[in-house]
Amino acid sequence: MKKEITGEESAAMKAQRRKNFIARYGSLIALVLMVIIISLIKPRFVSFINLRNMFRLASINGLLAVGMTFVCLTGGIDLSVGAVMGCAGMYSAYFAQESMGQPAIVAVLVGVAMGLVIGIFNGVCVAYLKVPAFVGTLGSMSIAKSLTYLLTDAKPIPKLTESFKFIGGGMVGGVLPIPIIIFAVILAVCFLLLYKTRYGRYVFAVGGNANAARVSGINTKRIIASVYVLSGVLSALAGVITSARVTSGVTNTGEGYETDAIAMVVIGGTSLAGGKGRLWGTIVGIMLMICLTNGLDMLGVGAYYQMMVKGFVVILAVMLDSLSSD
């Protein structure tokens, strides 16, 4: 016998559907509205050159956000991504100096290796030593910054080789920047890893219920450790590209980027509690934050006010995440 649905139950179902719709498509709707509003005020916002610059910037921030997505899906957080980005950028720039006489690949590998080592350190601390992710990655953030300053006593590193600078400033066909191509390849690999492999299913399982995942035979410690390694490597790659793009190693590279990365991930619908999220949503979050920054620049909003706006965006994103989880 079919159960009749009361008016109260019907209202509750409609409210839940609205909540699910907002959680799934709210950030995309916000992005579309933002692009329309800013382009009406500043038509050059949608010019080819400006769009290309935004996508180039999104490719660097995006590497951090994609790594952060994997971490957040397991219920963790990585506060060291900005510091790792700066550390890797400085070490890669050090080996990319013309006076070193090293090929660009050596500088790239050194930078990525720095991210790998710090990522392993984070993974061991969080997964095996049971250090809370917030505390462990906060500590590694300080360590990475210290390693950055110790390398050159906080001095910038100029005169990098042309082959290294091509990684951040070169273009294919004079139109498509190299950083965008690198990000597109990394993003495709991460999509396959998360949605088409057993490893991706394990990441969601660990974030959803670590105890149940452990009972079902999943090596939860290894999965948790691996997402921090991935985050470290992608953050390091972002640092290498940034140093190549600005044509020098700068000690403050990556400062504040961890806040943007977290905001992009949460805006995209990934829950900080773990087990729920979408990589395509992170892409929407990346573009929303980049468009917001670029739009505020065009509108003449000062840097200090932009920091305030971003802070409110982060709080709003976390608040919406909490409401959608209720």
Dist CA 275 CA 179 (whole Å):
30
Dist CA 268 CA 250 (whole Å):
30
Average pLDDT over residues 32-61: 92
pLDDT score of 251 more than 90: no
| Structure-token match 């839940």, residue found | 16
> Which pLDDT belongs to residue 326?
56
Q: What are 204-215's pLDDT values in tens digits?
A: 999 999 999 999
Dist CA 261 CA 235 (whole Å):
10
The angle that helices 220-246 and 178-195 make with each other, rounded to 10 degrees, is 170
> Which pLDDT belongs to residue 1?
45
CATH architecture for segment(s) 58-294+304-321: Orthogonal Bundle (1.10)
**H or E element that contains 176:** strand 176-177
Average pLDDT over residues 33-46: 91
Domain ranges in the chain are 58-294+304-321
With contact defined as beta carbons under 8 Å apart, do 321 and 266 qualify? Answer: yes
Average pLDDT over residues 107-124: 97
Share of the chain above pLDDT 90, in %: 66
Share of the chain above pLDDT 70, in %: 92
> Which pLDDT belongs to residue 252?
87
Provide the pLDDT confidence category of residue 271 given band limits of 50, 70 and 90. Answer: confident
Provide the pLDDT confidence category of residue 20 given band limits of 50, 70 and 90. Answer: low
> Which pLDDT belongs to residue 23?
66
With contact defined as beta carbons under 8 Å apart, do 31 and 291 qualify? Answer: yes
> Which pLDDT belongs to residue 253?
87
Provide the pLDDT confidence category of residue 7 given band limits of 50, 70 and 90. Answer: low
